[in-house]
Amino acid sequence: MVSWTYVELEDVGSTQAIAKSLASMGATEGTVVVAKSQSFGEGRLGRTWLSPPGGLYMSIVLRPNSLSKPELIPLVSAVAVVKGVEQATGVLGRIRWPNDVMVKTKKLAGVLSEAQSYKGEVTQVVVGIGLNCNAPIAASTDLKESATSLMEELGKQVQVAELKHSVLDAFSELYDELQKGANMMPVWKQHFGTLGKPVSVKLKTGENPFTCKAIEVDSDGGLVVEGEKGNQVVHTGDLEWLKELS
Ligand code: BTN
């Protein structure tokens, strides 16, 4: 199991930036940087992550030296968020590939996973988790349509500290299984909301989005989609967005 070392902070620029900097100075596996709010929260693909007080913002340092498939860490992280949220609050989330955590059609949490390699080996991964807990989703932004928080789902405030522990407990268990080489596919599939659904995929290359059906996740975590041109595997780095149409 991972042994956690907490770096608890108040308002920061980004826990991700701090965790990466600590990692570059030798922070050990299991270092978790947690903040009450962030002024420059980083999202996937260069987006920003709105981080007012009341949310859970944390970045985990991992050193997956002996992992055969470190590319699966982002997916495992999303499963940990789903499990941790369910355990602490009863709210059932599902994963929109690759690692958004959704409640119905609205995004509850996001995962940003950044790896560093040396001589072809992944030596360090920093997993950033942003979970909307008690902060209202800003009414003035278009996020109102696409994002939700636990408070909005439950109609009451939640304990952010309890959520932190339940997400990290779930993470530790799953990461342990991953380290032992377990097949994580069944547990992911249990929580994926994407499979069998029509989706709209936009590749980073600037292509127009295309509509297809998500049919499988392969053993490297790639999403197999079925479109007009047959089957194609979409990898995390290539995806700009993926949205369920129904
Ligand atoms: C996404 O775009 O869906 C991923 C968002 C990840 C946000 C979290 S909040 C904690 C950590 N610190 C950051 O600056 N970003 C991640």
- Report helix, strand or coil for 29: coil
- Residue 243: what pLDDT? 57
State in Å: Cα 120 to ligand 1 middle: 26
Query: What average pLDDT does the segment 93-106 reach?
Result: 89
In terms of pLDDT, which residue wins out, 122 or 201? 122
pLDDT digits (tens, 9 = 90+) for 41-91: 999 878 899 999 999 999 999 999 878 888 899 999 999 999 999 999 999
Q: Label residue 204 by pLDDT band (50, 70, 90).
A: low
Pairing of strands 56-62, 121-131: antiparallel
Q: Label residue 131 by pLDDT band (50, 70, 90).
A: very high
Q: From CA 116, how far away is CA 127, in angstroms rounded?
A: 12
For residue 122, pLDDT over 70 is answered with: yes
Residue whose CA is at the smallest distance from ligand 1 atom 10: 57
Atom of ligand 1 nearest to the CA of 58: 10
Q: From CA 103, how far away is CA 93, in angstroms rounded?
A: 5
Q: From CA 23, how far away is CA 20, in angstroms rounded?
A: 5
Atom of ligand 1 nearest to the CA of 19: 12
- Residue 205: what pLDDT? 58
Indicate whether residue 41 lines ligand 1 (CB < 6 A): yes
Indicate whether residue 49 lines ligand 1 (CB < 6 A): yes
- Residue 69: what pLDDT? 86
- Residue 245: what pLDDT? 44
Q: 0.75 exceeded by the pTM? A: yes
- Residue 115: what pLDDT? 92
Which one of 8, 11, 16 would you pick to mutate in the ligand 1 pocket, going by the greatest count of ligand atoms within 8 A of its CB? 16
Q: From CA 225, how far away is CA 210, in angstroms rounded?
A: 11
- Residue 236: what pLDDT? 57
- Residues paired with 187 in a beta bridge: none
Which one of 36, 57, 146, 163 would you pick to mutate in the ligand 1 pocket, going by the greatest count of ligand atoms within 8 A of its CB? 57
**Which backbone phi and psi does 177 adopt, to 5 degrees?**
-65, -40
Query: What average pLDDT does the segment 26-52 reach?
Result: 94
Pairing of strands 121-131, 106-118: antiparallel
pLDDT digits (tens, 9 = 90+) for 213-222: 888 888 877 8
